[in-house]
Amino acid sequence: MNGTFRTWLKFNTVGLIGIGVQLVVLTLLKTGLGLNYLFATVIAVESAVLHNFVWHERWTWSDRTRSNARGLVGRLIRFHLANGLISIAGNLLLMWLFVSRLHLHYFLANIMAIATCSVLNFLASDRLVFRREHSSGISRKRPVVRAKNRRPIAQDR
């Protein structure tokens, strides 16, 4: 099985669980506490974003994160800037469109909004957040020969 396809399957598995997290939080906040559906959407999406980050870090892209634990904070920031913004902005815009303009039920509207944002989220995660780090151990220095005595010295590229 192709590595990208395997990663896509893992991404979608985590995403399906994240959808459950998002929908449960949304329902509790909207129906249980009576919050406005847009405010409840922001909190529900953020809950799912944090859930998904933890699982992507530990499982989906573990081959890329295991060797670079120090990059955790940077990945979390990139995840929020990429996936968080795509998810929150996309969900808010689509929820407003589907509920306020098309008069769909908020639960169905949220499922449709999540599905719409998922492809962009995968691309952002794979290419930006959990990108491959070049840690081959090969020196980035190349030998340069001095004109006078012709002995190689190292020079940064």
Q: Where are the domains of the chain?
A: 3-132
Task: Give Cβ neighbours of residue 70 (< 8 Å, ≥ 6 apart).
Answer: none
Average pLDDT, integer, range 10-33: 95
Tens digits of per-residue pLDDT, 95-118? 999 999 999 999 999 899 988 898
pTM: 0.71
With a cut of 50, say whether residue 139 has pLDDT above it: no
In DSSP notation, the chain reads --HHHHHHHHHHHHHHHHHHHHHHHHHIIIIIS---HHHHHHHHHHHHHHHHHHHIIIIITHHHHTT-GGGHHHHHHHHIIIIIHHHHHHHHHHHIIIIIIT---HHHHHHHHHHHHHHHHHHHIIIIISPPP------SEEEEE-TTT--EEEEE-
Average pLDDT, integer, range 19-34: 96
Average pLDDT, integer, range 149-153: 56
The pLDDT, as a whole number, for residue 24 is 97
Backbone angles phi, psi at 63, to 5 degrees: -65, -25
The pLDDT, as a whole number, for residue 141 is 42
